[in-house]
Amino acid sequence: MDTTHDVVIENRQMRLVIGSDAIVKSLVHKPTGIECLAPGKRVPLSTITEPRPYQNEVKLAYPNKRTTFKANAVRLEGSTLTIGYELIPWEATVSVRIAEDYIAFTLEAFNLTEPYGIAMTEPPISEMWFLRLPVRELGHWGDWLNVVWDDRVAVNVLAAEPCANADAEEGDGCRILQAGSDIAVKLTGVTAALITCATDELLDKVAQVEKDYGLPQGVASRRHALYNASYYWTANVTPANVDEHIRYARMGGFRLMNIYYPAFLKSNGYKLIGDYDVYRPEYPRGKADLRAMLDKIKAAGITPGCHFLHSHIGRESHYVTPAPDRRLNLLRIFTLARPLGLDDTTITVQQNPIHSTMAKGRRVLKIGTELISYEGYTTTAPYTFFGCQRGIDKTTINTQPEGALFGLLDVSEFGATSVYLDQYSDLQDEVAAGIAEIWDAGFEFIYFDGSEGVNPPFWHHVAGAQYRVYKRLQPEPIFAEGAAKTHFSWHMLSGGNAFDIFKPEAIKDETTRHPCREAPRMRDNFTRLNFGWLGYWVPSDATIGTQPDQLEFVTCKAAAWDCPISIHANLTTLEQHPRTADNFEVFRRWEEVRARGWLSEEQKIELRQNDREFILLINEDGDFELVPCAPVADLAGGSKAVCAYLFERRGKVGVVYWHRSGDARLELPMDRTALTLQEDLGKALAIAGDKARAVVPVGKRRYLTVDAVHRQELLEALAAARVVA
């Protein structure tokens, strides 16, 4: 093999070798000598994609379609890497910065090596990859951080600014980690960093890139003391009721309180999003009252955060009515084929409207100062939108001449009460300024809801919209979560996403199906997720309601992966639910476990068994004790009123039990002297009854224990028990 003209780029951590033919040959982690690339893969360092060939001979010889051209030559002169490509007369120049902890690559320019013979100087490129590495499978693949790793070594291709596209392709026995650019965002002047290091040093190296390039501090947020703390979420806290919310939050041991914007801004659902200066009447002094409320929450030892839909604009906001803002996003552009009069209910256009949305509430056209809804459209000429309703959303009806351009409005699919803004405009920055003004009242973490509501390319605009808000928030959030994420989001969304509410009857299955499956993937990305915005339901004829065993299941599985949970809290619901004290005691115990780092790695591994349930007890010594438990399937002849779980410990068999919706008595055909009734282990209570029948109260959570020799007798007694009102 000829290595005479190989390009070698190295620092103290790695040695990257690229053949003169642009085939990547080797990536060695120098401290261990580990070869990180898959053997025998002829992967070119770079590729260029054109929407069609432009060079004349190539255009004539090949089909005119989206075409990708591979790099076939590379040379290093000083700190500049020059890459040539097959068939096309373009070279890419990439500057190389060698730092101690990483190597940074910046796509600087495209140079035309021979004239096209046509009037074109700009590169006709839709996208390109300037760094591609066939990293061998190491056992762990972090698709968000873009990292491959095992216990010894990690290889990470990391965007060093929001316009660099870092991604990967799945290969045969490898992951092709790559970094590139996109004409829809920015074609040159984008930077990515290559990190190859010991796995336990990876976050240190990422933190150095974040520091050197002025990025959000994603590593620092993951090392914050509140990183895995759960939060109490509320949409109705006000200065008048904040003390009650604080009481409940402290009852559950919550160290964080996340406040949804309708708690302090006028909202009408999503319809007023964008009016960030219109406070609810409960805040007569506006921001001053909000600041005072947040100060009270902090004085209680709870850190407040906020929750916004940053990329949405409400359909009753000043950005829509009486005249829609020019910066609202349009999905398609149409040309009027006939003038539009004030009373017209049919609109004739030049383009075929086929595939325009027909979803209810989303059939909206934006024409001048007016929004117009339509019943349908024709897909054969003459093309029309028909059944039009003029001036919807209280917009101003106008006339437009033939040839006027207008668009299909990008109405949110979530209720159709808001619209998405154009990320290529400055409206997101204007919204960001409004959110930052509110943030200044004293919030410390943030949830970016509706993050998927952006125009393509999504790899850029999902994180880009978040970043346009994030970088205005001072001080920087201690952490953030979001409804959607792309690669650059990793530096901001240290908490990943929170799963939406699951019903009580399905919560265990849904937790297993979703958060439990995502948790190991998030760990591969050196981060965590939120195991859920848990709903809170009062028991009724329609539902069993939120019960302690459900919360025990979710919180223990979350803790197994060092993840938090969150609860949607409404004062009325909390007050009406008969088991709120028990439910919040479950939260309190598990939040203390998180805060103290009480779980051992062995316990975490045991808790990850999704087909097993566990209970966190307070034992006779006042310490936590984790034991497996299982539902008592046959209780009181199949009664649905009482819930019970069996566990064994220290030569005893125990049953934790409670009434789902009220208070009653439980009569067990069993000698009461064989039973011990406890509020908590070690706090014995008297049992009524005699040798043939024990009578115990059923309401809040209590414990019945017997010596292990009475196990079967207890099970039979539970099956034959009666619930007496």
- What is the CATH classification number for the domain harbouring 124? 2.70.98
What does the DSSP 8-state code read for residue 422?
Answer: -
Instruction: Specify whether 668 is located in the same domain as 547.
Output: no
Asked if the structure places residue 583 within a domain, the reply is yes
- Does one domain contain both 42 and 98? yes
The total number of residues written for the chain in this structure: 725
Domain end call among 409, 438, 454: 409
DSSP-assigned letter for residue 414:
T
Sequence-ordered list of residues with C-beta below 8 angstroms from that of 97, at least 6 positions apart, any chain? 79, 103, 104, 105, 106
Asked if residue 596 and residue 637 are part of one domain, the reply reads no
CATH number at residue 709: 2.60.40.1180
**Assigned domain for 685 exists:** yes
Residue identified by tokens 């028909």 is: 386
Residue ranges in the chain whose pLDDT is less than 70: 1-3
Residues 29, 506: Cα–Cα separation, whole Å: 47
- For residues 339 and 308, membership in a common domain is answered with no
Question: Which of these three, 611, 645, 662, is where a domain ends?
Answer: 611
**How many Å from the N-terminal Cα to the C-terminal Cα in the chain?**
87
| pLDDT for res 471 | 97
Domain boundary among 554, 581, 611: 611
For the chain, how many structural domains are there in total?
5
Rounded Cα gap, residues 447 and 451, in angstroms: 10
Q: Is 508 found in the same domain as 487? A: no
Query: What CATH number does the domain containing 450 carry?
Result: 3.20.20.70
Instruction: Tell me what pLDDT residue 2 has.
Output: 57
Handedness of CA 233, 238, 240, 243 (dihedral sign): positive
Q: Which two tokens stand for residue 485?
A: 């994420």
Are residues 579 and 678 located together in one domain of the fold? no
The amino acid sitting at 259 is I
Residue 3 is predicted with a pLDDT of 66
- As a whole number of angstroms, the distance between CA 701 and CA 695 comes to 16
Indicate if 476 and 598 belong to the same structural domain. no
DSSP string, 604-632: HHHHT-TT-EEEEEE-TTS-EEEEEEEE-
Do 402 and 427 share a domain, yes or no? no
The β-bridge partners of 567 are: 232, 534
pLDDT at residue 500, as a whole number: 84
DSSP character string of 111-151: EESS--SSS--S---SEEEEEEEEEEP-SEEETTTTEEE-S
Report the side by side order of strands in the sheet with 676-678: 613-618, 624-631, 642-649, 652-659, 702-707, 676-678, 684-685
Verify that 630 and 605 share a domain, yes or no: no
Q: Is residue 660 part of a domain?
A: yes
Strands of 405-409's sheet in order across: 330-335, 405-409, 364-367, 370-373
Phi/psi at 437 (5° precision): -65, -40
**Domain-located, residue 616:** no
Q: Supply the DSSP string of 516-553, one letter for each residue.
A: HHHHHHHHHTT---B--EE------SS-----HHHHHH
Host domain of residue 435? 231-313+422-491
- In a domain, residue 415? The reply is no
Residue spans of alpha helices (H) in 184-240: 202-212, 218-222
Question: Is residue 221 situated within a structural domain?
Answer: no
| Of residues 360, 277, 274, 268, the one with CA closest to residue 324 | 274
Identify whether residues 38 and 186 lie together within a single domain. yes
Same domain, 585 and 646: no
pTM for this prediction: 0.95
Whose CA is closest to 283, among 263, 300, 269?
Answer: 263
| Beta-carbon-side half-sphere exposure of residue 608 (alpha carbons within 13 Å) | 16
In a domain, 131, yes or no: yes
Same domain for 524 and 474, yes or no, is: no
